[in-house]
Every structure is written in C-alpha cells, then in structure tokens.
Amino acid sequence: KRTLRLVLGDQLNEGHSWFAEVKDNVVYVMMEMRQETDYVTHHIQKVTAFFSAMRTFSVKMKSKGHDFIYLKINDTDNEQSLPENIKKLIEEHGFEHFEYLLPDEYRLDEQIKKFCKEVSISSNAVDTEHFLTKRDDIAQFFRGKKQFLMENFYRKMRKDHDILMNGKDPVGDKWNFDHENRNKYKGEVPIPPAYSYKIDVSEVVKDIEKAGIKTIGIIDQENFHWPIDRKQALQFARYFCRELLPYFGTYQDAMHTEEKFLFHSRISFALNSKLISPKELVEKVIKAWEEDSDKINIAQVEGYIRQVIGWREYMRGIYWAKMPEYADKNYFEHTRKLPNFYWTGKTKMKCMEKSIKQSLTEAYAHHIQRLMVTGNFALLNMTNPDEVDKWYLGVYIDAIEWVEITNTRGMSQFADGGIVGSKPYLSSANYMHKMSNYCSDCYYDHKKKVGDKACPFNSLYWNFYNTHRDKLEKNQRIAMMYRTWDKKSNDEKEDLLTQADYYLHHVDDL
C-alpha cells in the first residue's frame, strides 16, 4: 500500500525504526503551519528553532534516500492546517494508508484522531520511541491515589532501568542528594562560557517575517545558538558532561545577575524535539562520571538524572493522566491578569527584571528563575493560570504543552490543587536573597516588609497565605506558616495587608 507518514516538528528522532530502511511505497510529510505558529504567541527563537530543525531533518532524511514532502510556511499549496494539508496530499498522490507518530500534545492527538476517523483510507499510530515510559504508565502506577509523588515514581524508574543502582540499592546509599546541592553562587569556581556556535538562520527568520507571524522576544539571526540538528545536540551534551556536570547540582538552584545559564545543560529544546533521547543523555552523563569520578561526584550526577528520568517523564505521565481537565484547573480561582512587565522586563524588582529580560532575549531561563521568580510572582499576584500558561508556553525555547502546563499550572501555580506538588512554591524575598545576588542590586529593600521601597515579595507573600487560609491551613506542610502569622500583632498584620493591597493595585508600576 502506498503510505503517507506524518512527522511533526517535535518528532525529529533520526533513530526511529521508521527510518531504519528506505521503503519505496512510503512518503514522509513535514509541514510548517499557521495552526502551530498561532495557537499562542511564540518567541521568535522558538519558531526559528523548530523550523530550522525541521528543515535540516528533512534534508538529511532525503539525503539518506527517504521520500519527503516538505511544506514551508510560505508555500502556496500549504493550507496551514494539518487535516487540510493531509487530505489534499492523499487526494493528489493517491495514498492508501496514513501513519503518524503519537503526538505529545493532547490538542494534536485529538485533531489527528478525529481526522483519521473521517478520512476514507486506513490509518494507524506508532510510538515515537523517545521516552523511557509509555503515555499511560504514570496513571497505572498511581492508580487510586490523589497525589502522585514524584519521588516514588523516580525510584521505580531507577530500579526498572537499572540506573545508578548497586543491585537493589541506590549508588551512594541514598536516592536523593539534594541537601548537598543547591548552593548560592559566589564565584567560587569559574563558570565555563555558554556553549555556542554560529548558525545562520536568517533565511528562516525572513520566511517567518514574510508570513507575518506574530512573535515575542528578539533573535540574533547570524549567531543563533540552539542546537538544530542531532550533531549539535550531541555536542551540547558532550560539553555539558565535560564542563558543566562537575558543578551542576551544587549550583542547580543558584541565580546570578551576570550569569544566565550557570551550570545548566540547555538541552531541553534538543530533548523535546527528540534530536537526542533521554536514554542516551543519561548514558553519557553516567559514562562521564565513571571516567572522571575525581572531578564529578555522585550528587551532581544524581541531581541531573533525577531531572531527566524523574521529573521529565513524570510530567509527561501526569499530562496524559489528567488532560483535558488539567488545562482548566484553577484551584485558587485566580482571575487577575499578568502584569505588563512580563512582556517588557520593565520593573524595578531586579530578580524579575533579570529573569524576564533574559527570557525575552534568550528564550531561556533556568528552572529556579521560572519557578521561584516569575512563577512565584505570578502566583503572589493571584494571576489567572490561563494567562500564566500563555506566557510560559510562548516565551521558552522548550515550551511544549505536555511539559509546560504541568510545570506551570501544576508545580508553579498549584492550580491543580496538589497533584504535582504537595504545597505551593511560594517565597518572600528571603529565598531570593539566599539563592541569588539579585537583592543587593535592587531598588527595593529585601529586608523591608512594609513602607517605602519594601520588597513586594514580602507583603504579597503574607497576603497570599491570609487570602487562601481556607484552602491551605489544613495542609500539614503549611500549618506552621499560619502559626507564625497568628503570632503577629494585629497592627503588623494590617500593615502587611495594606502594603500588599497597594502593590496589587499598582502592580504595573512595581
């Protein structure tokens, strides 16, 4: 049967069994489409990275002999919609069978399933052969449980895949080395330069502009530095293992005004577009550690591996267990809009200014900036999670809904009421000061809770707990906060709440 096989933009897995041999009766299709560029306003670097990686992938596959149809964004025969394009191709080329790789996004999964029901030819879906788990493994693992504890899932992953195991025991006799990690960065060791090379993406950018696609952020067209093919992804991984892994865990949560990337791997785009697989990444990390255990200790390695085989697979499993209801969750019933400075970085709060400006210039912020700075503030501002999701889904190079929404709506906004996390990630200026040098260079005073130049995080923090007492007080992990709050004098409480109220009313001026 003449078969049409669909490859989506985040399915660039060269090692997939589909490509093991060239088949005469199979044609592959890849498409740049407005339905994908317009479902949210994306960062210009994100659209550029996807289109560049897709084009490079199709050229390489063609050179290996595979028959590829590639629709560029401005092609006149591009209908800009997935079902419309596929329907047209089936009619024009007389395909008798349609195959696709399982999408990672619910939106696309539904769209393609619907299309397959309607179309007259036969169809089937196959796995992307990328993740270590299947879509519904998490749902099975946590059947009947209200809360899905990541730690339990992670230990099972370690055992099932025999990763960092000594027989039945974890290497180093501990599953988790967090308390040895997570230091503030005070320049103790130099940070190696961010891995980079020159890729000229000006042609792709020209096409995006010609198409009139609305984007956010900025791009350096001649010096774009995200990996867009497998070779570059492997180079990123190699650089990480050699230069950054030795301090990855130690400074995993650190933030610094002059350092955007610290010891992070910046591999998320390559992973999420499937240029590199989690399995091979983990193997490389373990090999680097085995070869150089004087320089790299277990705490660094375990810290990294937990992110890749723990958090990443876990978030995907939550997504498939909880969609589509997850996308509407709003536990705190927040309705406020996201402050304007999320789109400009123009705020006097140094931590926010740095994290947002970096997101707009680099399409990147590391985990703690996303969680404890911008996410934390959005939560303290009692922002509608729809608004928060739109920002995160647009701004980051690695943002694909399955991993964005679970992190944003779940981990960062606690809008799921405690599926992903057991309590909201909230902090006052204390945490910012402890983990970064942002506060020393800030207009606001991190030590002040009320009055002129008091750091907004401080009063908003108490205001949040006070506002949501009914929803949080019974949570064992938070009860202590309420005891501290109750011990404050009425005057102190009133001052804090008045300050917070003022800030919430003038949030765009902060």
* Residue pair 42/9 in contact by the 8 Å Cβ criterion: no
Parallel/antiparallel/unpaired status of strands 3-6 and 26-31? parallel
Binding mask 275-314 for ligand FAD (x = CB under 6 A): --------------------------------xx--xx--
Nearer to ligand FAD, 70 or 226 (CB): 226
Q: Which residue has the tokens 């700075």?
A: 373
Q: 80's torsion region: left (phi>0), alpha (psi -120 to 50) or beta?
A: left
Candidates 156-164, 176-184, 192-200, 405-413: pick the segment binding ligand FAD (CB under 6 A): 405-413
With beta carbons less than 8 A apart as the criterion, state whether 67 and 27 touch.
Answer: yes
How many other CB atoms sit within 10 Å of the CB of residue 457?
A: 28
Does residue 412 contact residue 371 with C-beta atoms inside 8 Å?
yes
Minimum Å gap between C-beta 77 and ligand FAD is 32
Question: What are the phi and psi torsion angles at 286 (to 5°)?
Answer: -65, -40
Closest distance of CB 119 from ligand FAD, Å: 31
Q: Which lies closer to ligand FAD via its Cβ, residue 92 or residue 328?
A: 328
Residue 366 found at the interface with ligand FAD (CB under 6 A) = yes
Q: Which is nearer to ligand FAD, 395 or 442 (CB)?
A: 395
- Interactions with ligand FAD, residue window 246-275 (CB under 6 A): 264-268, 271-272
Shortest distance, CB of residue 311 to ligand FAD, whole angstroms?
Answer: 4
Question: Quick check: 48 and 204 in contact, CB under 8 A?
Answer: yes
For ligand FAD, which is the closer residue by CB, 92 or 283? 283
Among 48, 355, 412, 428, binds ligand FAD (CB under 6 A): 412
Q: Where are the beta strands (DSSP E) in 232-274?
A: none
* Dihedral, CA of residue 68, residue 72, residue 77 and residue 81, to nearest 10: 100
Rg (CA), the chain: 24
Stretch that binds ligand FAD, among 6-14, 193-201, 284-292, 407-415 (CB under 6 A): 407-415
Of 13, 78, 407, 437, which one interacts with ligand FAD (CB under 6 A)? 407
Pick the binder of ligand FAD from 398, 435, 438, 458 (CB under 6 A).
398
Cβ neighbours for 354, distance < 8 A, ≥ 6 positions apart: 255, 257, 369, 438
> Which residue type occupies 276?
I
Check binding of 95 to ligand FAD (CB under 6 A): no
Return the range that interacts with ligand FAD (CB under 6 A); candidates 42-50, 82-90, 184-192, 369-377.
369-377
Does position 105 interact with ligand FAD (CB under 6 A)? The reply is: no
Distance CA 189, CA 186 (A): 8
For residue 49, state whether it binds ligand FAD (rule: CB under 6 A): no
224 close to 45: Cβ distance less than 8 angstroms: yes
Binding footprint of ligand FAD on the chain (CB under 6 A): 264-268, 271-272, 307-308, 311-312, 315, 366-367, 370-371, 375, 392, 396, 398-399, 403-404, 407-408, 411-412
